[in-house]
Structure 1
């Protein structure tokens, strides 16, 4: 049986999460307080995370967390099946497969894309995802812990930058045009339809809790855009901010605008999110090295994705 977290699951979740985060599946130590913050975020109805308990003969034998965010590329929400954990003595009972099938069926009408993360050495999980139609995504993730965690509280720009402002209704056409240019770049693995970009812009205008958009300017003229997406991270015990897309028009490149946007994001969100994340193409080791030198950690996870049926 698979069911949503209930208040009585608190101690069992802490114990299992502690075991999971002490395993080779996690790259660094996670304080117990983060598990508590995660559990309460789920029970309080955060839109960014959901949690499930696995039961076998009435015994709590595992758990799964689902992290939710937005993707311009997919034109909708991404559901990540994260931290799928089963107690050692209850493995090989098909619980992982059952949970995966449960998630796909439960969220098929909400998700634009399913996503999982797995270490290269975890051949069993990779085999499971391959059998279920998941395909590898050739991007590497770099992350950086920020000072604080928790849902974003402020509604104004804390660190003004004359070159960066939130999207306004009149930015629609320039965003659609630049988004199409970005997704035609050779390092972008898919080329989504214009309707996806239109849905993204409308989601931003509707104040979605998952995505925010910024116009990047130079001397008052549109020079590019940046998208940041919110999700959750148990390892941070709070919100993870994902810099989903940064695009600068060719004539404005080499002027520090993209780096300025990244630095702006770190300052703007440092007191309200726990983790900052970017994705870089496998084929771009120079950029990966650059971000590692700026305090980002390269994650040893492979990403697999699947379109809902």
Structure 2
């Protein structure tokens, strides 16, 4: 299994948008193509926000991972969040997810990131097992969100 990672650029917008749409459909998340396109253009144009990586097997794109960057006093510096991580269904259960999370950790080390966070649905035990297996732990707190823009 030959897996490679390519940092996505604005020239990859159509491909990334296609993958994001697949992910949002799979996870029953809202998807407004024009809105997501605008947000992706902003994100891909400014590495201050983070990075998007395409996951390739041979000559086929099979998924993507988006890392967003932040800063935390609690974690003593730069932190990151796995904002989205998607593998096409036929490529799951083969160790690619584990390999991709390790790759994300390497990227974070190179960026000086002190802590890497992610969220997982309560009803997704397969993903929970993967994340636990590679070292992610439940926190004594839980994520809460307030939408500041109704369109988000």
Q: What TM-score, normalized to structure 2?
A: 0.85
The answer on whether the counterparts of 2:72 and 2:78 sit within 8 Å (CA) in structure 1 is yes
1:22-80 deviation line (CA, Å, top 9, x unaligned): 23364xx1321232123212331241221010111111111111111111111111111
Task: Structure 1: give runs of 5+ residues left out of the alignment.
Answer: 150-235, 237-309
The answer on whether the counterparts of 1:79 and 1:114 sit within 8 Å (CA) in structure 2 is yes
Runs of 4+ in 1 over 3 A off after TM superposition: none
Cα distance in 1 for partners of 2:124, 2:137 equals 15
Secondary structure of the corresponding residue to residue 79 of structure 1: strand
The answer on whether the counterparts of 1:25 and 1:119 sit within 8 Å (CA) in structure 2 is no
- Larger RCO: 1 or 2 (CA < 8 Å, sep 6+): 1
Query: What is the total number of aligned residue pairs between the two structures?
Result: 148
Secondary structure of the corresponding residue to residue 60 of structure 1: strand
Q: Which has more radius of gyration? A: 1
Aligned to 1:3, which of 6, 11, 24?
A: 6
Residue in structure 2 matched with residue 134 of structure 1 by the alignment: 136
Instruction: Point out the structure with the larger strand share.
Output: 1
Cα deviation, residue 148, structure 1: 8.1
The 1:122/1:25 distance shift into structure 2, 3 A limit, reads farther
Task: Structure 2: give runs of 5+ residues left out of the alignment.
Answer: none
Cα distance in 2 for partners of 1:68, 1:104 equals 13
Cα distance in 2 for partners of 1:90, 1:105 equals 22
Q: What TM-score, normalized to structure 1?
A: 0.44
Residue in structure 2 matched with residue 84 of structure 1 by the alignment: 85
The 1:19/1:94 distance shift into structure 2, 3 A limit, reads same
The answer on whether the counterparts of 2:98 and 2:134 sit within 8 Å (CA) in structure 1 is no
**Structural RMSD (CA):** 2.1
Asked whether 1:101 is paired with 2:102, we answer yes
